[in-house]
């Protein structure tokens, strides 16, 4: 087969409900000059059967034992042959003209990496349109910060408004120069875009006026240990790339000051909680507090007397 213009990589893991939508959104693109590389990361459901049900010579399917998302993406990219590389998680969906529009933008503006705005959808492909919906509030705040500062690197320090690995569209050469995705389970895309901007500061673009990706927000998501790990990784990344943006002789000031600001926020939160907590009133709580204080005093006195006796 001739070299494809675009290589689309789908890292797939236990998404038999959604992977068909992902595959079809690539096959139905207005730009048909592509290869589709699907790497099944050890799925234990029917993901493999769904992918292999499609008969198209442009699909290349690979299976591996589970190695986590970043390794799966790295393997997929290593197999690409196109001039451009795009990534699509197995539960997300491309708009029908995504590849065509990003190709045109890349060529017209001489960019090596692009990402667009996104459309959040639920498990049934229904869009979350309520502006008060929590994710929409978060994303709009990040967009507004970008519009106010006009600088991608600065805006990413405020939040990951690229949202997902599925939003990456880049030249294969740029992907090679930036290097593989790092071993962060939740934020490998965040780290990658920082490195891309560091290397190609003026050739990375946010196509902010076009929504070219349906981003899946699963209704069954619950607060878990992942919420803590993800935020810990987020904190480390922000500090790393914030310090990378300032002269070395100033880094200790920025590091110390930012850490103190975080501690102040924690202290303020604790003080506010204490001030808002209901205070005990009445005779019984007061007597109980007095009794506890007397017991502490008596124990100290007894201990002191015993020590003097031993001497």
Tens of pLDDT along 60-78?
A: 999 999 999 999 999 999 9
Handedness of CA 135, 141, 147, 151 (dihedral sign): negative
Could you give the percent of the chain with pLDDT greater than 70? 86
The answer to pTM > 0.75 is yes
6-244: CATH class: alpha beta
Here the tokens at position 94 are 């491309």
Average pLDDT over residues 2-27: 96
Rounded Cα distance between 31 and 6, Å, is: 9
Per residue in 189-222, pLDDT tens? 999 999 999 999 999 999 999 999 999 998 654 4
Per residue in 78-124, pLDDT tens? 999 999 999 999 999 999 999 999 999 999 999 999 999 999 999 99
E strands within the chain?
6-12, 34-41, 59-64, 84-87, 93-94, 113-121, 169-171, 204-216
- DSSP per residue, 33-69: -EEEEEEEES-SSSHHHHHHT---TTEEEEEE----H
Closest CA to 145 of 160, 132, 130, 131: 160
The domain spans of the chain are 6-244, 246-278
Q: Residue 10: beta bridge partners? A: 38
Looking at residue 223, what is its pLDDT?
A: 47
Per residue in 29-63, pLDDT tens? 999 999 999 999 999 999 999 999 999 999 999 99
Rounded Cα distance between 208 and 34, Å, is: 24
Going edge to edge, which strands form the sheet with 204-216? 59-64, 34-41, 6-12, 84-87, 169-171, 113-121, 204-216, 93-94
Average pLDDT over residues 117-143: 95
């Amino acid at each position: 087969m001739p070299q494809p213009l675009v290589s689309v990589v789908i890292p797939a893991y236990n998404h038999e409900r959604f992977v068909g939508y992902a595959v079809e959104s690539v096959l139905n693109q207005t730009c048909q000059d592509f290869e589709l590389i699907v790497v099944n990361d050890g799925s234990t459901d029917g993901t493999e059967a769904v992918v292999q049900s499609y008969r198209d010579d442009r699909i290349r399917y690979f299976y591996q034992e589970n190695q986590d998302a970043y390794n799966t993406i790295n393997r997929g990219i290593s197999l690409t042959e196109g001039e451009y590389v795009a990534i699509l998680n197995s539960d997300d969906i491309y708009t029908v003209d995504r590849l065509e529009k990003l190709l045109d933008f890349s060529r017209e503006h001489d960019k090596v990496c692009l990402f667009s705005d996104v459309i959040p959808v639920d498990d049934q492909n229904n869009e979350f349109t309520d502006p008060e919906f929590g994710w929409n509030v978060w994303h709009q705040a990040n967009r507004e910060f970008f519009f106010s500062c006009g600088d991608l690197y600065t805006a990413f320090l405020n939040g990951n408004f690229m949202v997902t690995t599925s939003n990456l569209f880049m030249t294969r050469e740029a992907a090679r120069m930036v290097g593989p995705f790092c071993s962060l389970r939740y934020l490998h895309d965040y780290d990658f875009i920082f490195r891309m901007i560091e290397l190609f500061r003026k050739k990375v673009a946010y196509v902010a006026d076009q929504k070219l990706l349906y981003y899946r927000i699963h209704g069954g998501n619950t607060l878990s240990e992942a919420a803590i790990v993800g935020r810990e990784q987020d904190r480390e990344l922000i500090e790393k790339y914030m310090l990378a943006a300032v002269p070395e002789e100033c880094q200790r000031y920025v590091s110390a000051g930012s850490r103190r600001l975080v501690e102040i926020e924690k202290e303020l939160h604790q003080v506010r909680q204490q001030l808002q907590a209901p205070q005990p009133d009445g005779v019984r709580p007061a007597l109980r507090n007095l009794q506890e204080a007397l017991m502490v005093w008596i124990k100290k006195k007894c201990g002191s007397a015993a020590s003097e006796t031993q001497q």
